Amino acid sequence: MQKIIRIGTRASELALWQANFVAKKLQEIEGLDIKPEIVQIESQGDLILDKSLHELGITGVFTKSLDVAMLKGEIDIAVHSMKDVPTILPNKIVQAAVLKRAGSLDVLICKDEHNEEFLYQKEAIVATGSLRRKAQWLHQYPNHTVVGLRGNVNTRMEKLKNSSWNGAIFAQAGLHRVKLLPKHHIKLNWMIPAPAQGVIMITALESDNEILKICKEINHTETEICSHIERQFLNTLEGGCTAPIGALAYIKDTDVNQPKIFFKGALFSLDGKKKIEIDKSCYMVDHKDLGKTCAEDILNRGGRRLIDEMHSEKKSIKLLSTKQLSVSQTDMFDTKIGVQMSDFISIKFNRLKPTVVKNTIENVVITSQNGVDALLQNFSPLELDFKNIYCVGRRTKRLIEKKIGKVAYVSNSARELANHLIEAGNIQSVTYFCGNLRRDELTTMLSEKSIEVEEIEVYRTVKNERKFKDEFDAVLFYSPSGIQSFIEDNQVNDVIAFCIGQTTAVEAKKHFSKIEVSSMPTIESVIKSVNKYYAE
């Protein structure tokens, strides 16, 4: 006996393709004679309050016209792009099946098909209507401009063609399904997709056991498990469409008897400057709460505060940090303090010749973590044969001992280190791995005592001028060069300068009338001084 199944769908080309694909899968079920009928449902907007449902005793506000049609008995099943479906379905409606994922990648379509040069330029314009894609693009390309792009895939492709944009971001699966994917497109493998991106979902009434049994025949179990994890992650973060959230789970048979599930998820700030990420795996038998535990981990590592910031009212105190801070550092600020961040200086590592470390070096001086990173950028730890290492700062010491070797002596300042080397009495020369803005006092003090200093510039500090339209109550500075960069394009006015140490404070006094200096030369100490100042 033939079974008619009414398939509800929206009228866009992509939605109709998906509905017809489901119809084909239903017809291929062995032992059943299915006659699918496509029913196009006109969209009535994002939120629907339907009076006729109230008359049937069904109350609530529904997110899709398809939900209303199903509850009113006009269709038997509805076909959706799963990433667009809320993680909590309306009462009486359930997930009946998901089809095998077609692909999860985002792709960049360039307006000029063969011109990708804008990816390497400081300024470019890229379009997307997704907060997630916008945040991740700005995280990768902070100087680019991202503009809004709405409509179905056909409309968006047409808008790109008629625009002055450099490119636009799409889901690869959607373009491929409607044959709009250009031969020359750029796969954004680094971009974490939306939860359940590329998955077709079928919903049905919870009470319709016959339809549910039929749909189970075309359900793809692996996709069901992976999309469940991704949507569980989204639901726990409570992101919905208001926070940039990416998630991807996949199954890999690393062990024949015990396949593993690998998961990657991330939460971003709206401007892309903050990112909290997690990578985790587990055996298939333990997957039930994987999405939930991963989301809870992100919430505990600053995600809760990040989401609150996106939903909270404007902060009463506005600060600017002249370098990017970690999530744990931004979490230290009092809740009434809002912080913008921008790197006013950047570090460029120099390319060094192999002869620099060809032989054993007797006495090495490193005064910053940048010096350590620059050396490791050029050489492996095994190539660095240093007999005695002297450094400035506890964090520099920890990095050296973790990556290179034992530190002979650590000081709190370059002057203190110079005095130690002089007082040792048996040091005739040192090799100083430094930056272009080196600590001249160290070289001067040693040279005056006839200790030869060989300076090797391993990195350069470059000023990044940034002009801000916003007015700030205070600015956080971590180096004299950061101050010099800030004043190039910004007015000082009555801004308070919070400085990481006395050297930075000396430069600040040339430009600012209000100055606060942290008790210790650490970022955390600067933040503590900010909280203390505004608590008074």
Do 246 and 233 meet the contact criterion of CB atoms below 8 Å apart? Answer: no
The closest alpha carbon to 403, from 420, 421, 417, 389, belongs to 389
Token representation of residue 29: 């079920």
Active site residues: 84
Output the six-digit token pair for 234.
């989204």
DSSP state letters, 142-199: TTSEEE---S-HHHHHHHHHTSS-SEEEEEHHHHHHTT---SS-EE-TTSPPPTTTT-
Q: Please, what is the end-to-end C-alpha distance for the chain in angstroms?
A: 81
CB distance 508 to 498 below 8 Å: no
User: Residue 497 burial (CB < 10 Å; 0-12/13-18/19+)?
Assistant: buried
- State the DSSP string of 294-309: HHHHHIIIIIHHHHHH
Residue 182 and residue 113 in contact, taking contact as beta carbons nearer than 8 Å = yes
Pick from 36, 16, 128, 34: nearest CA to 81: 16
- What's the rounded Cα separation, in Å, for the pair 231 and 236? 8
Residue 163 is classified by DSSP as S
Residues ≥6 apart with Cβ < 8 Å to 202: 22, 77, 78, 79, 80, 95, 96, 97, 98, 99, 215, 218
Residue linked to tokens 């749909």 = 215
Q: What is the spatial distance between Cα 199 and Cα 177, in angstroms, rounded to a whole number?
A: 12
Q: How many residues does the chain have?
A: 536
Burial label, 387 (beta-carbon count in 10 A; 0-12, 13-18, 19+): exposed
Bridge partners of 157?
A: none
